[in-house]
């Protein structure tokens, strides 16, 4: 199974991805932000991410892993379809979820996590989340993933997502 967690900065993609990875046997969590982090930045971050995932998934499959949780932001159906095509040879159940949360709560989460960081990136993050939410809003009417409200606690969210995936424990 390949599970994409789609959504803007600070919505909880990484937190949910970590919790899912810990709850699903033979599972690897791949964080899109970490996979494209490079200095200098790749000219095409999404191409860099998708080509990296195309290398990592078969590598982990050879090691016996069967499930992948990938957290990133995809703002168009074409971007998601590109990744789906690149990973199609693995004949995996491919599920994409668009994480949702009211804007005010998303901003609270960003502010809360900023207080624990060594580098002050709050202005950058607030600007970025506004841009990303706008890009996702423009994608309304296209399939950016099954809507999944992330306003509950991580434990409740994991249980709800496992149920939705048919992986109840």
Phi, psi of 110 (to 5 degrees): -65, -45
Task: Output DSSP code: residue 42.
Answer: P
Rounded to whole angstroms, how far apart are CA atoms 91 and 130? 36
Cβ-based burial of 19 (10 A; exposed 0-12, middle 13-18, buried ≥19): buried
pLDDT digits (tens, 9 = 90+) for 57-92: 999 999 999 999 999 999 999 999 999 999 999 888
Pick the residue with more confidence: 137 or 116? 137
* Average per-residue pLDDT for the chain: 91
Dump strand ranges (E) for the chain.
2-6, 27-31, 67-72, 94-100, 146-149
Nearest partner of 52 among 66, 70, 65, 64, judged by Cα: 70
What structural domains and CATH numbers belong to the chain?
2-165 (3.40.50.300)
CB 3 within 8 A of CB 165: yes
Residue 92 neighbours by CB under 8 Å, 6+ apart? 1, 2, 68
Taking only the tens place, the pLDDT of each residue in 7-43 is: 999 999 999 999 999 999 999 999 999 999 999 999 9
pTM score > 0.85 for this model?
Answer: yes
pLDDT at 117: 65
């Amino acid at each position: 199974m390949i599970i994409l967690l789609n959504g803007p900065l600070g919505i909880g993609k990484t937190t949910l991805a970590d919790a899912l990875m810990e709850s699903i046997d033979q599972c690897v969590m791949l964080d899109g932000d970490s996979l494209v982090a490079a200095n200098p930045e790749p000219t095409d971050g999404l191409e860099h991410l998708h080509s990296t995932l195309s290398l990592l998934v078969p590598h982990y499959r050879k090691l016996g892993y069967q499930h992948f949780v990938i957290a990133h932001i995809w703002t168009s159906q074409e971007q998601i379809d590109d990744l789906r095509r690149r990973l199609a040879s693995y004949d995996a159940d491919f599920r994409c979820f668009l994480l949702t949360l009211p804007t005010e709560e998303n901003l609270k989460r960003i502010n809360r996590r900023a207080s624990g960081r060594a580098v002050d990136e709050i202005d950058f993050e607030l600007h970025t989340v506004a841009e990303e939410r706008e890009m996702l809003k423009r994608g309304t009417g296209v399939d950016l993933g099954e809507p999944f409200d992330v306003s509950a606690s991580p434990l409740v969210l994991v249980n709800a997502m496992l149920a939705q995936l048919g992986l109840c424990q």
